[in-house]
Amino acid sequence: MDTALPAAADPALGEVVVSRDEIAQRVANLGAEITADYEGRAPLLVGVLKGAFVFMADLSRAIDLPVECDFMAVSSYGAATKTSGVVRIVKDLDLDLTDRHVIVVEDIIDSGLTLQYLRRNLLARGPASLEVCALLLREGQQKGGELGLRYVGFSIPPEFVIGYGLDVGERYRNLPEVRVFRGTP
């Protein structure tokens, strides 16, 4: 028997950090920036699963250029709310990156360790260019090194958040906004 509470009554849902309307406006702005920056080129969007799938879907529609999409799945969290610091590729890309203009699409940047690993891995595949577009940057959590964040949606406080693709234990990805998680994983 399913004992899930309606979203409005779920005590694990904390305050809204980024609203649905704020997300929609910022995604439209990011799409316009990318369209201007990549005029005459067809960027390849590389979504980092699973968290970036909602953001990448909206972002790809906001870019007024031909785009291609591919996905990678990496793991550094498991079921925890803090990164383990160990990154592993769970699903690799299907497309060749050689001479392509690649934009890595991330849901959230915490420590930056996953992104540093991905950048090294993807740069070794010979793209013409490699940029990063992250919906969220958790303030004060990065552990040095160059992150190469060309496009950032929002800087947020260092709290664990859910919604708009972000989850805890595979739950809450479908929330239309980003909220603080107040429960236990």
What residues are annotated to the active site? 110
Beta bridge partners of 51: none
Q: Rounded distance, CA 132 to CA 173, Å?
A: 22
Contact between residue 51 and residue 166 where contact means Cβ atoms under 8 Å apart: yes
Residue with tokens 């595949």: 125
